[in-house]
Structure 1
Amino acid sequence: MPFENRDFNTPDYTEELEEPKKVVIISCEGSNTEPEYFDAVKRKLSDNLKNLVEVDIVPKPPGDSEPTAVLNNLKEHVKNKYDFNEGSDILWLVIDRESVEARKRNIKKIIPECNRDGYSIALSNPLFEFWLLLHVTDITAYDSDVLIQNKWVNASKNRRYIDKELSTILPNGFNKRKGKFNQDIVSFENVKRALAQEKLFTTSYPEILDSLGSNIGELIGDFLDLSE
């Protein structure tokens, strides 16, 4: 059987094309704690980042932290930096429910646009600090009503209950000022604990608007692989 003619300078294999990188873009309500938390997760758990995933934390300008402002900041960032690839890139807003009813109305206002344009909402009720508390303690030891009320704990009204608990539990305390995020909160074990404990509460959106809970674990799952 004769050999087929073949150019021996030509490889006899087909090179696999690398899949396009997926970008998880996160727009936070806060300027300090939330962006610094996600930055710490990126750095400290870099070995657990999913393949071909990049995480981009949108810079938060000072001022308005209403849900519409968080959404507009995300849209402006994507417009200026990306050719948004719908179905590949993932866009998230990180928002606090807080206790006032006006806040609930403002969150509900952005839902139609988010649903239409493919933006996901990571919501914590009452605050993002509830998600942090899930990292560092047995949450079943707490009264759910006390957590969701999250009342002021001093006369000057500069610290709420969950903030106080974080400061008490963490050896180096808890500080919400810029550049002061306690990096000890973020570890492989602590994030896994938070993901497990989050499931004890409401994790479905928009039900979180009226219940103690969080769905930040869904956002974490978009870029971290914590399987052992």
Structure 2
Amino acid sequence: MANTFRLKSTTMFSRMDDDINEQPLRIVFLSVEGNKTERQYFDYVEKYRGKLGIKAAVHIHTLQRAKRDNLSAPENVLELLEEYLVIRKNDGLPERLRSVIPQRYSEEFINCYLRSELNPQDDKVKEFESILAEVGYDVVYNNYLKEFKGKNDVFGIVLDRDYKSHSVSQMKKIAEQCEKNHYKLFITTPLFEFWLLLHLIDIDKLSEEELRNIKVNDGISEKHTYTSKMVSDIAGHSKSISEKIFLQTYLSKIDYAISQSKKLNTAIDALIGEDKTEETKMGNIGTNLHELFELLRTDKDL
């Protein structure tokens, strides 16, 4: 039986509704490319939202997937968001899940299970749970995602430009799909670590050679590209960002990163580039992630 579901929490995820007394006006649901760096960064943004001027009724949730889920192509990032939207809109059992469950499990049995009304020690319940595990359906997390909604929610994806892996046509197709479906698209060229770098250095003081090296972003070791190594050397972390590092290194510098990002070309087309020459295929160095923070800091209807 194929593992067909990707949304799952391999750890105890933070339930935002435990700390919310009023119905949120907006939750920004993000599907991100990295399963460590990006997710950790945005989880900390949510945790320390009060210190960042994020409106009380606005929250951010990064969609979780299994640790071993390394599907990070732009199409996979978009797929994860759309899997969430299917679950969000479906009041019952997702159609894909029902199609792989044997007929001996009635709708009544399934609904009772989902409402936690059955004895977890019952053999039939254990057998049913093994089927859910085999197809990768995380009941607790998916039920949470179905129930936790704001009044004016936003759905978006966070992507690296990464011209070595993602073609211009591939990126433009994703951009078109996002525009068509009214999803927010946040891109950083060459990769998310450049957004982190904007917290750490004065972009105006970089030499032409340094800017060129960031744009080309060659791999310089098994762990690092040129840009990620710059971040690692300054901030003292690799892919994983600890809470201590976030508090010491990034939290107070987010507005600085925002101001620096606005100095660069932040248009989606410029970040993606053009399929003309090897140079234009790289896209322009920059990011539009400041738009995400602008979104979090307003409680006006969109």
Q: How does 1:15-26 map to 2 (within 5 A)?
A: 21-26=25-30
Query: Which of 93, 99, 103 does residue 157 from structure 2 map onto?
Result: 93
Q: Structure 1 pair 201/21, CA: closer, same or farther in 2 (3 Å)?
A: same
CA contact (8 A) 1:40 1:186 kept: no
Given that residues 198 and 256 in structure 2 are in contact (C-alpha distance below 8 angstroms), is that contact kept between their aligned partners in structure 1? yes
Tell me the SS of whatever aligns to 1:69: helix
1:83 CA displacement: 8.5
Query: Do 1:29 and 1:70's aligned partners in 2 also have CA atoms closer than 8 Å?
Result: yes
Percent of aligned positions that are identical: 28
Confirm or deny that 1:32 pairs with 2:36: yes
Match of 2:54 in 1: 49
Structure 2 Cα separation of the partners of residues 207 and 85 of structure 1: 34
- Cα displacement string for residues 93-114 of structure 1 (whole angstroms, at most 9, x for unaligned residues): 0000012274332222222221
Which of 59, 64, 74 is the matching residue for 1:59?
64
Which residue of 256, 262, 266 maps to 1:193?
A: 256
Alignment check: 8 A CA contact 1:163 1:174 kept: no
5 Å-filtered alignment, 1:70-219, equals 70-80=77-87, 81-82=145-146, 88-100=152-164, 102-142=166-206, 143-154=210-221, 157-170=222-235, 173-177=236-240, 182-183=245-246, 184-188=248-252, 190-209=253-272, 210-219=283-292
Identify which range, 136-145 or 98-107, moves more after superposition: 98-107
The 1-side partners of 2:251 and 2:242 are apart by 18
CA distance in 2 between counterparts of 1:217 and 1:98 reads 19
Q: In 2, Cα distance between the equivalents of 1:181 and 1:102?
A: 33
1:203 Cα deviation after fit:
0.7
Cα pair 1:198 1:214 within 8 Å, conserved: yes
Q: Distance in 1 between matches of 2:264 and 2:231?
A: 19
Alpha-carbon RMSD = 2.6
Q: Deviations over 1:179-228 (max 9, x none)?
A: 6893233223x001000100121111121112111001101211137xxx
Higher helix share: 2
Q: Distance in 2 between matches of 1:181 and 1:29?
A: 23
Alpha carbons 2:27, 2:150 under 8 Å: kept: no
Which ranges of structure 1 fall in alignment gaps of 5 or more residues? 1-17
Range moving further from structure 2, 77-86 or 33-42: 77-86
